[in-house]
Amino acid sequence: MAIIDILHWTASAGWIVLSGGADAGGEIRSMALRRIKAHGGVAYLGFNEASADATLEDMEDLGAPTGYLVNIVTEDDESIQDQLVSASMIVIDDSVTADEWRGSLPGAAVEGMREALEHSAVILAEGTGAMALGGYILSDEGQFTEGLSWLQKAFILPGVASPTDSEMARRLLEADPKAIVVSIGIGSALALGADGQIEVWGERQVAIALGRDYQ
C-alpha cells in the first residue's frame, strides 16, 4: 500500500510540517522558512507573553520574517483569527502538552490556521504541537483521546525514532486496527504539502506503523 493511500491530511495550498521537536538553529526550522510563499510575518502561538520568546529569537536568527506572539488565552477570537490569517508561517511549539494545545486551539485559532493554509502559509508544529494535530493524542492523564485530526487516524509520536520503541504505540495499534502511528525523531520532520506531496526532512528519522486493517 502506497504511503499516499495511508496518510490523509487537511488539504490546502500550503505546507504542514510536523517536527520531532524544537531544533534551535537547526535544519528543520530553516527548511520550513524556505517554503514560505505567502506575504506576512510569523505568528507564534502561545499561552503567555514569554512563551514564544526563545523560538521567536531563534527563528529571527535564521532569517524569518518579523514575528509576533498570538496569545490564544487572553486575545479575543477576532484578533486571533485576523493575526493568523495574515501570517506567512504559524508556529506551534512544544512549550505545553498536546492535551493543552488540543483544548485551546479549536475555534478561532484553528479557523485562522485553516484560512492561512489556503493562502499558502506554512504550519510548523514541533513536538507536542505536532502530536496535537494527529487523530489521537496522549492526554495529561496518560489516556488516548481525540486530537485535532489534521493528520487523520494518526498518533504522532514526537522525539521517537521508531514506533517499535514505544509501548504507547503498541497499545494504540492493538486497541484500534485502523490507527496509524507516525514516529518523528528529533532533528527530523514529516512535511505534507498541496497535491499530495510528502517529504521527510533532516535526519530522516520518520517511521510509520499500521493497525491490523492495513495489513
Looking up cell 514506533, which residue turns up?
163
- Architecture per CATH, domain 3-214, reads as 3-Layer(aba) Sandwich (3.40)
Task: Report angle CA 92, 202, 191 to the nearest 5 degrees.
Answer: 50
- Give yes or no for residue 46 having a pLDDT over 80: yes
Alpha helices in the chain, H assignment, sequence order: 27-34, 53-61, 77-85, 98-104, 108-118, 128-132, 167-175
| Residues composing the chain | 215
User: Range with the lowest mean pLDDT among 3-12, 97-106, 168-177, 201-210?
Assistant: 3-12
**Which of these, 206, 202, 195, 188, lies nearest to 13 by C-alpha position?**
195
Distance, CA of 113 to CA of 106 (rounded, Å):
10
Beta-strand runs (E) in the chain = 15-19, 42-46, 67-71, 89-92, 122-126, 134-138, 144-146, 151-158, 180-184, 188-192, 198-202, 206-210
> What are the residue ranges spanned by the domains of the chain?
3-214
DSSP code of 4? G
Share of the chain above pLDDT 70, in %: 98
- Torsion, Cα 70 120 186 108, to 10 degrees, reads 30
pLDDT in tens, 78-110: 999 999 999 999 999 998 999 999 999 999 999
Q: How confident is the model at residue 132 (pLDDT cuts 50, 70, 90)?
A: very high
- For residue 23, name the pLDDT band (cuts at 50, 70, 90): confident
What gap in Å lies between CA 38 and CA 67, rounded to an integer?
A: 14
CB 105 within 8 A of CB 60: no
In angstroms, rounded to a whole number, what is the distance separating the alpha carbons of residues 120 and 12? 7
Convert the pLDDT of each residue in 148-176 to its tens digit. Answer: 999 999 999 999 989 988 898 999 999 99
pLDDT score of 103 = 93
